[in-house]
Amino acid sequence: MGPHAPRLWRAPAKINLTLHVLGRDPAGWHALDSLVAFAGCCDWLSFQPEQKLSLTVDGPTATSAGDLRDNLVLRAAEALAARVPGLRLGRFALRKFLPVAAGIGGGSSDAAAALRALAYENGLAPEDDRLYGAAASVGADVPVCLAPRARLMAGRGERLGPALDMAPLFAVLANPGVALSTADVFAALGLARGAASDGAPSPRIAAHSDADQAIATIQAGRNDLEAPARRLSPAVGEALAALAQTPGARLARMSGSGATCFALFDTRHAAARAARALTGAHPSWWVRATLLR
């Protein structure tokens, strides 16, 4: 990178290790309780201060990213500018590697990376409340992506726990190449407005948990959106079954509203072998071995 090259910002995939739906308020919002972690695989965002706000998008999954005018990067920048008088904006360039509408928060993580970039260039502290306000106004998953570390998120996503002292987890992510609408999956869950579910909150990971302890805790949880997603797209069930059958898989589960699924492993080598086997058996799928932290 040359001396005048723009700084690069990571926008990592967000993985819901658990996702419990506790109810739905009269306005229609679902109350969630979820343990999230962030992957090594990511999109990349660069920012160059200029007079005018702009965005370009390229990369392997750019064609699925939709209309630039609706991109969350621009919406996040505009939301922060509305809260910070004189905010210096500029040119964003987003390189997309993560699948879109995939249950791994790609767009939300992109937006959070844009807010981090603007904070850095404008001398805003990472804990500035205006960053959180802008993030929450853009999307329910954006606040948790501002400081991408494993933690609990609750409510609509606005209530965040502290970063968890959890050992990194070896994982394989697999997306079978189908896009699932979050709204459609929640609708298929069928929870009435004002109703509470009979499920317990997500299990809590103890402080200083090693990987084995963390996986045991995660195994005690679930993803309540998995069943409706499978009804909407049989490919989710195929991905879950394929992951579960790989040697060494401790757990296979869907992330978010799908269709990306993940499996957890004891070692980096087991995860790498599983990713190679899945790629060979399903060459059209998006598959990545990664580390969750």
Instruction: Report the catalytic residues.
Output: 14, 141
3-state secondary structure at position 137: helix
What does the chain come to in residues?
A: 293
Tokens 């993985």 appear where?
15
Token representation of residue 157: 């996503």
Element (DSSP H or E) covering residue 125: none
Instruction: Using alpha carbons, select from 290, 73, 60, 72 the residue that is nearest to residue 171.
Output: 290
CB 92 within 8 A of CB 54: yes
**Cα–Cα distance measured from residue 18 to residue 194, given in angstroms and rounded to the nearest whole number:** 23
Q: How far apart are the first and last CA of the chain?
A: 27
Residue 178: alpha-carbon gap to chain centroid: 17
